[in-house]
Amino acid sequence: MNIQPSPQRPTVELRPTPFDHPDAIKLNDRVQLEYAERYGDEGDVTPLDPAMFAHPRGLYIVAYDENGAPVATGGWRGHEENDEGYGIGDAEIKRMYVTPEARGLGLARRILAALEDDARSAGRTRMVLETGTKQPEAIALYTSTGYTPAPAKFGHYRFEDLSRCFVKPL
């Protein structure tokens, strides 16, 4: 039997990138279209400001393929206890996205691990995130990496039936 070696996975570089960088904006526009398709609305309207992802209170990452094309994103922003249900020391995951052509390469897991490491280094004690029932791939990613359903919902969509919130101690 002739067994061919498996092709090597393409090289992907994770780069800290400002939230308002053109590549980040391009991928955010794509994820917003996907949200709109899945939920039938205008996408995620959570108020976000580029300063929320500036170190040491946050981080935004863009993944670039071997040709220099942006193919994935993710970020965290710090929170303290507030009226949206966040707690002291929370780091919220935002805008996790992998382009369809780059899915299956483990990029979401790599970005998520990098965000968790960075938030931990910044003194954050808990990762939190909100996703929706029409994103089963996201729910599967988070639960397979140690996230559990939050005891109480938080964030912009905390009162929505389709919203699901998850937490993970750092």
- For the chain, list residues with pLDDT below 70: 1-10
50 preceded by cis ω (within 30°)? no
- Identify the pLDDT of residue 5: 39
By C-alpha distance, which of 79, 71, 77, 80 is closest to 59? 77
143 phi and psi angles, rounded to 5 deg: -70, -30
Which residue ranges form the domains of the chain, and what is each CATH number? 13-169 (3.40.630.30)
107 burial type by CB count under 10 A (0-12 exposed, 13-18 middle, 19+ buried): buried
Q: What is the pLDDT of residues 10-50, one digit of tens each?
A: 689 999 999 999 999 999 999 999 999 999 887 788 889 99
- Identify the pLDDT of residue 7: 52
- Identify the pLDDT of residue 91: 97
- Identify the pLDDT of residue 43: 77
- Identify the pLDDT of residue 42: 77
Angle, in degrees to the nearest 10, between helices 107-121 and 136-144: 50
- Identify the pLDDT of residue 86: 93
- Identify the pLDDT of residue 45: 86
By C-alpha distance, which of 79, 59, 51, 58 is closest to 16? 59
Instruction: Write the CB contacts of 120 (distance below 8 Å, at least 6 apart in sequence).
Output: 170
Is the C-alpha dihedral spanning 20, 26, 31, 37 positive or negative? Answer: positive
Neighbouring-strand partners of residue 148: 167
